A and B are shown apart, each in its own frame.
Chain A
Amino acid sequence: MTSWTDDEALTRELREAVAAERAVTERSREAAYAAFSWRTVDEELDELLSLAHDSSVGDEVVVRSVTDTEPRLLSFEGGELALELEVVGDDLVGLVVPGRACRVTVRSAGGRSVSVDVADSGFFSVSGVPTGNVRFEVAVGSSQLATGWVLI
């Protein structure tokens, strides 16, 4: 437990406390403040598709030895619609399930986006996918759906 009766122990932990605050970068602070603006954007959504599977996240701690070219597989699910994605570098192929004509937008938290029209089959591909924190928006009919944020 806390023993700050000793001057040296108190000074040591005070040094850590000050250092912890100083280690915070302004970019991190600004990004964290700005994250809140997505709250009002999200209120316009009809549904948030939740992450059902991410091949880069496992229960095991061990780092898997895989090659550069192995795609990252992501699945998102909602009530009416699911999204299956394979990401390799900044290329992406995806499938809207069940297949239907819609428009998919990949949007980064930094404000970049790329959109693609999807045919009835539900298959689509996107190149030049923004990196960093992104989410996938699906406009189908008059409905607006989006996935939660993923770091790619």
Chain B
Amino acid sequence: MDQTCSVAELVRAARNGDQRSWNDLVDRFLPLVTRLTARFRLYGADAEDVNQTVWLRLVEHLDAIREPNAVPGWIATTTRHECLAVIRRRGKATPVDPLGDSSIDRLLEEEDPCEELLRDERHRALRAGLAELPEDRRALLLVLLEDPPPSYAEISRRLGMPVGSIGPTRARALDHLRSTEALNALLAAPAGAAEQRR
């Protein structure tokens, strides 16, 4: 994923008809759309329909959005709006709504749109940071993220790494991650970057 272009640059290039910039925008914000959709307990065909609506609407509105930095917020708001519409319509089709009214209310109360955008920004920085690491360190961190985590003996066998060096290598890999360009860029411009995207 190309993290070097700003959202505003991608939006401007997409307005000029550049499919690659559009695809970069999609790659950057698909995890946000997917995550929000899952928060509303929509999966499978429902989730794919909402996802498609969001991107079709963004194509429609691309020229109308005055501030390109507002696009992530626009995507989050549109996703939330369409998820609620699907849930309301489903209320017609199913005699018993699996997600009762009160839990939708609770979901909306719990949810802080700004926090979701900040979280998504941190996630993108972490994935970009992970991509910056050398292969062996990245591989070890990815294995350690598995659920349930494999035993050190299993990790040793899979990665060909002595059991005794797994702990220290993990510590070095996490330190390395903290010093990557992606994480430094995020920490150098905290909150403010996301703030202007709303």
| Cα-based distance from A10 to B170 in the complex (angstroms) | 12
Taking CB atoms, residues of chain B closer than 8 Å to A11 are 141, 144-145, 174
Which of the residues B89, B127, B177 comes within 8 Å of A18, measured between beta carbons? B127
Contacts of B35 in A (CB 8 A): 20, 23
Q: A2-B187, A14-B130 are in contact. Are A66 and B91 (CB under 8 A)?
A: yes
Does B74 belong to the interface (CB within 8 Å)? no
Residue of A18, A27, A28, A31 most packed against chain B (CB within 10 A): A28
Cα distance, A95 to B49, chains bound together (Å): 26
With an 8 A cutoff between CB atoms, is B169 at the interface? no
A98-149 CB contacts (< 8 Å) to partner B:
109, 132-133, 148-149
- Closest Cβ–Cβ distance, residue B36 to chain A (whole Å): 11
The contact of A132 among B49, B130, B178, B186, by CB within 8 Å, is: B49
Q: Is the CB of B123 within 8 A of A149?
A: no
Whether the pair A63, B183 counts as a contact (CB closer than 8 A) is: no
A148–B52 touching, CB < 8 Å: no
A7-20 vs B, Cβ < 8 Å mask (1 yes, 0 no)? 10011011111101
Q: Does B126 contact A (CB under 8 A)?
A: yes
Question: Whole-angstrom distance between the alpha carbons of A100 and B186 in the complex?
Answer: 57
The answer to whether A42 touches B60, judged by C-beta atoms less than 8 angstroms apart, is yes
**Contact across chains for B171 and A7 when beta carbons are under 8 A apart:** yes
**CB-CB < 8 A to A48: which residues of B?**
60
B58 contacts chain A at the CB level, 8 A cutoff:
yes
Q: Are A24 and B52 in contact (CB under 8 A)?
A: no
Q: Name the distance in Å between B72's Cβ and chain A's nearest Cβ.
A: 14
Main secondary structure of the interface of B (DSSP, over half): helix
Interface assignment of A44: CB less than 8 Å from any CB of chain B: no
Q: Point out the residues of chain B lying under 8 angstroms from A148, CB to CB.
A: 57, 60
Q: Is B160 close to A, CB under 8 A? A: no
Q: Does the CB pair B104–A18 fall under 8 Å?
A: no
The answer to whether residues A63 and B22 also contact, given A14-B126, A16-B123, A148-B57 and a CB cut-off of 8 A, is no
Tell me if A27 and B48 are in contact (CB < 8 A).
Answer: yes
Most buried by B among A14, A32, A42, A61: A32
With an 8 A cutoff between CB atoms, is B87 at the interface?
yes
Task: Take A17-B127, A61-B84, A151-B86 as given contacts and tell me if A70 and B92 are in contact as well, using a CB distance cutoff of 8 Å.
Answer: yes
Given A7-B174, A33-B23: A2 touches B52 (CB 8 Å cut-off): no
Q: Write out the residue numbers on chain B whose beta carbons fall within 8 Å of the beta carbon of A39.
A: 17, 59, 62
B150 interface residue (CB < 8 Å to A):
no
Q: 0/1 per residue, B146-173, Cβ < 8 Å to A?
A: 0100000000000000000000001100
Interface set of A (CB-CB < 8 Å, partner B): 1-2, 4, 7, 10-11, 13-18, 20-21, 23-25, 27-29, 31-33, 35-36, 38-40, 42, 48, 54, 56-58, 61-68, 70, 72, 109, 132-133, 148-149, 151
Ordered by A's residue number, 28 sampled pairs between the chains whose C-beta atoms are within 8 Å are A2-B122, A2-B187, A2-B190, A14-B130, A14-B141, A14-B177, A15-B145, A17-B123, A20-B34, A21-B127, A23-B34, A25-B48, A28-B52, A31-B55, A35-B52, A35-B55, A36-B14, A38-B59, A40-B17, A42-B59, A56-B85, A57-B81, A61-B101, A61-B105, A62-B101, A67-B92, A148-B57, A149-B60
